Structure 1
Amino acid sequence: MEIRMLRYFLVVAEQQNIAKAAQTLHITPPTLSRQIKSLEESLGSDLFIRESRQLELTESGLFLKKRAEDILELNDKTEKEFNDSKQELLSGHISIGCVEADNSDTLALMLEEFVAEHPQVTFSIFSGTSDDIVDRLDKGLLDLALLLEPISTEKYHKLILPREEKWGLMVSTQSYLASKNSIQIEELPGIPLLCSPREEIQEMITSWDALQNKKLNIVGTYNLIFNVFSLVENRVGSALTIEGAMANRDTSSVKFLPIVPEITTHCVLVWRKNTLLTPSVNQFVEKFIQAFQA
């Protein structure tokens, strides 16, 4: 439900007539009728009784009217407070989930700049698996999240970050593979592998053309890369990962081999749809959009 749709609904409820409401909203009656019908379909319930010239609210319509009035009041109040505070010091708290990736540094740099610009803003970063982060985001425990594609983002607004994440193999320096500077994708089926258990990642790997109809030797799965450093070092298996996940770690006993032909994905900044962001979170999102949106 968009704020715009709620405003349309309230005007129709007040005017009790599509034509009058459309005139007030400066749109055509057919357009307004389609918008109201779309709202009813998305909610799975009729909002108006259409048996007379005047539209009457159903029980569902009465319920939505009260909720819509509350939501719009809060929205208008928040926008006013945000605009009023532009001339003042921005304050508040931002909770962010972040996967292990090269773009984690991008997030850190943006936070560093933002806090320098708004010293009264505080933040917390939750690092974990994509599943853990998405769960906390859905529960409202996080405001934003930096996730690695492929990931389902239908429920979220998303901003694709431009820096690509390169896929490859983390191998032991004691392995025969360490003499290589890259790994051909056709070689993967013959190597004991450690990889993410995420369904999206598994599907991505099996969709690579060179691996069609070939079975990978997956000896184990992992959620966070630091859990498998010792397993890789001791040659239990080589880990399929992105290069950025190994950043800022002791890599003296392991080596990253990029996959050839090169395979890359992106990180995305996401936040929940139909959720009112606090002024500090909204300003931080705007900073990202201004920096990276084409």
Structure 2
Amino acid sequence: MELRHLKYFLAVAEELNFTKAAEKLFISQPPLSRQIIELEEEIQARLFIRNNKKVELTEAGKYFKKEVKELFLNLESVTLKTKKIAENVSGEFRIAYISSIYSAAISELIQFLKAQFPYVNFKLFEISTSKQISALEQGKIDLGIVRSPIKSPKIKSQLWFQDGFSVVFNKHQISINSEKDILKLKDETFVFFNKDYAPHYHEVLLELCAFYGFTPKVVHESNNINSIVQLVKNGLGISIVPSTISKNNQDSALGFIELKEVNLLTDVSLISLKEDHSEITKTAIDFLLKKE
């Protein structure tokens, strides 16, 4: 039995007319009749009742039609899954993100991608913007989530969203109620990102403080936004963080005041290689763009 036998059978079973089925299959009627006879002989079952007036399915034919249709649906599903695996040759898709990105969206992305591409192994890496750019150029990751700027001729970027900035402080130690009180923080200890780890972000934080009329006394540094927030919670200083961080930290000990007067925003972008046309990359980017 060959696949063509099943295709010919389905055509006749759906049309219940050999002439129409032959036209649908772009073959003549005699070869079609011979193929159906061969199929019946092979499975040793009569599938059609034929007379001069009409063609009908036997009970065996009705059952066979149902099962063959199911078989073709399964074959189509297998073909699609195989195509998706082939689009990512290694069977692995690597996504990098910076620590200051709201993690719920990343978790939802992975769950969504696993459902869409069940045979691909998805891996997450927390990496700084500069290291992501280098890793992407070297083919070590497939998709990056970074804060701009991105300076690389090999990379294409898509703006995901723009993020503001907020002061974060320990409410048991610091008493401020609004943006107008920011200058009161000029003598406080600050916790910032390490200048070598995130130079652009470090400069932005200094610029923010300058706008409010002071130079921060940076005593502690970290390369991870969650560590910075934890240091603030532990009373070791205050910090300025992306406003989205407040979504992840509903701790009663922490206070957040958004800095709106300065009107300074940071671009969060999705990056991939310019020659990357994989369906997985497109699906991931489309999903995240719909989340904003």
TM-score tier, shorter chain, comes to: 0.5 to 0.7
Aligned residues: 205
The answer for the alignment partner of 1:109 in structure 2 is: 108
* Structure 1 residue corresponding to 2:190, chosen from 176, 193, 206: 193
| Structure 1 Cα separation of the partners of residues 236 and 287 of structure 2 | 44
| Structure 1 Cα separation of the partners of residues 150 and 184 of structure 2 | 29
Cα deviation digits, residues 117-137 of structure 1 (max 9, x gap): 332333111123334433433
The AA in structure 1 aligned to 2:200 is E
- Greater C-alpha radius of gyration: 2
| Structure 2 Cα separation of the partners of residues 99 and 125 of structure 1 | 11
Please give the TM-score of this superposition, normalised by the length of structure 1. Answer: 0.57
- 8 A contact 2:183–2:213 mirrored in 1: no
**Aligned runs of 1:243-254 on 2, under 5 Å?**
243-249=243-249, 251-254=251-254
Structure 1 residues 226 and 205: CA distance shift in structure 2, 3 A: closer
Structure 1 residues 135 and 279: CA distance shift in structure 2, 3 A: same
Unaligned runs of 5+ in 1: 1-83
Cα deviation digits, residues 101-128 of structure 1 (max 9, x gap): 4554334334433332332333111123
The AA in structure 2 aligned to 1:241 is V
The answer for the alignment partner of 1:258 in structure 2 is: 258
1:122 paired to 2:131: no
Q: Which secondary structure does the structure 1 equivalent of 2:80 belong to?
A: coil
| Structure 2 Cα separation of the partners of residues 87 and 285 of structure 1 | 24
**Aligned runs of 1:147-158 on 2, under 5 Å?**
147-149=146-148, 151-155=149-153, 156-158=155-157
- 8 A contact 1:165–1:244 mirrored in 2: yes
Unaligned runs of 5+ in 2: 1-75, 86-90
Q: Which secondary structure does the structure 1 equivalent of 2:259 belong to?
A: strand
| Structure 1 Cα separation of the partners of residues 102 and 151 of structure 2 | 18
1:174 paired to 2:172: yes
Structure 1 residues 133 and 188: CA distance shift in structure 2, 3 A: farther
The AA in structure 2 aligned to 1:88 is L
Cα RMSD (Å): 3.5
**Aligned runs of 1:37-52 on 2, under 5 Å?**
none
Shift in Å, 1:143? 0.6
The AA in structure 2 aligned to 1:226 is N
Q: Which secondary structure does the structure 2 equivalent of 1:120 belong to?
A: coil
1:145 paired to 2:149: no
- 8 A contact 1:195–1:239 mirrored in 2: yes
- 8 A contact 1:98–1:126 mirrored in 2: yes
- 8 A contact 1:93–1:122 mirrored in 2: yes
The answer for the alignment partner of 1:67 in structure 2 is: none
Identity of matched residues, %: 15
| Structure 1 Cα separation of the partners of residues 107 and 142 of structure 2 | 16
- 8 A contact 2:105–2:291 mirrored in 1: no
